[in-house]
Amino acid sequence: MKRKANPKTRQLDQHVVDNSQRIMTTNDGVPVYDNNNTLKAGNRGPSLQQDHIYFDKLMHFDRERIPERVVHARGSGAHGIFEATADLSQYTSAAFLKKGTVTPVFVRFSTVAGFKGSTDLARDVRGFSVKFYTEEGNYDLVGNNIPVFFIQDAMNFPDVVHAVKPEPNNEMPQAASAHDTFWDFISLMPEAAHMTMWVMSDRAIPRSLRMMEGFGVHTFKFVNAKGKATFVKFHWKPRLGVHSVAWNEAQKISGFDSDFHRRDLWEAIENGDFPQWDLGVQLIPEEDEMKYSFDLLDPTKIVPEELVPVQLIGTMTLNRNPENFFAETEQAAFDPGRVVPGIDLSDDPLLQGRVFSYLDTQITDWVAPIFTNCR
């Protein structure tokens, strides 16, 4: 599909390289005429230390992998566009949300608890993270397919992740939350009861990544040109509707094709059946923060839609598969602290902790980037 051009798309295209009809080179740009044999001293002699092409190839290979993410290790990604369809100028000055603006995006869907090689059909939360390449900088809307979370304070995040991982003595079960350590944690954290009901429901085994809702989970803020703030909750509504599979179906599908969700998304885009989501918002005036019987800044609670209706403000279309999974999907890093003018963070203590942790995880002194705890 021809990409709809705007200034940001043209800027991104400057970093896309077409290697067809080009000669292979080393990382320094030196042409490589023999990529299969090392320089040797004579026909049967030892390899020579001066073979810089050999060392260049092996050193690159030795460092081409990055450590697996602690959570959200198994992911699938796709490129697309987001088109704003509503006038939000009274709430936010964010340029990409001006009606009619088209913004390039990259989306990464993921499971949370499983390792990189685990099955797509695990009973698990799904990550739903969107990177907007706006003209004011990159904005990351880092969310899940469930509107709440297990904990209220980021201090407990290492604990819930450790609890949901396999048992420490035998490394089992893989990509499954219903085991002793998890239930021990839940029994001691009453605030986790809401999220546990979602995880044990059909929402945790979606039929397709194209049929999942997405949520920002936290309460964020819109800020308009005059500096007035409005609380906002983000919702992604799939055009295909929300569909799941039964637990026995999930087990059978996993046995036949552990890449079921990844394959479904890839083939749909390849066939031109571009998945779409409408972006919706719940808007609450800042002065109404204490109006409700629940805490707006508590990520274990939802804001009922019958109290605050969801308003649709734009549509996202995924229309292009990655050309290099490692470079585009595996090395993609998302950070809820990456906001643009017109969008701000709330005082939600879990969100505040994520803003530190995601950034801290992405900082490294190694040659290869390490994104071990982020999306």
Active-site choice (6, 27, 35, 72): 72
Question: How far apart are the C-alpha atoms of 303 and 288, rounded to whole Å?
Answer: 13
Alpha helix ranges (H) inside the chain: 7-13, 52-62, 157-164, 180-188, 193-199, 247-256, 260-270, 349-362
6 is catalytic: no
Active-site choice (144, 145, 156, 321): 144
Question: How far apart are the C-alpha atoms of 287 and 229, rounded to whole Å?
Answer: 9
Alpha helix ranges (H) inside 285-338: none
Nearest to 181 by CA among 167, 199, 191, 161: 167
144 is catalytic: yes
Query: Within a 13 Å sphere around the CA of 293, how many CA atoms are in the beta-carbon half?
Result: 2
The one-letter amino acid code at 283 reads: L
Residue 263 · residue 66 · CB < 8 Å: no
Return the residue matching tokens 């059946």: 273
Question: How far apart are the C-alpha atoms of 106 and 333, rounded to whole Å?
Answer: 11
Active centre residues (catalytic): 72, 144
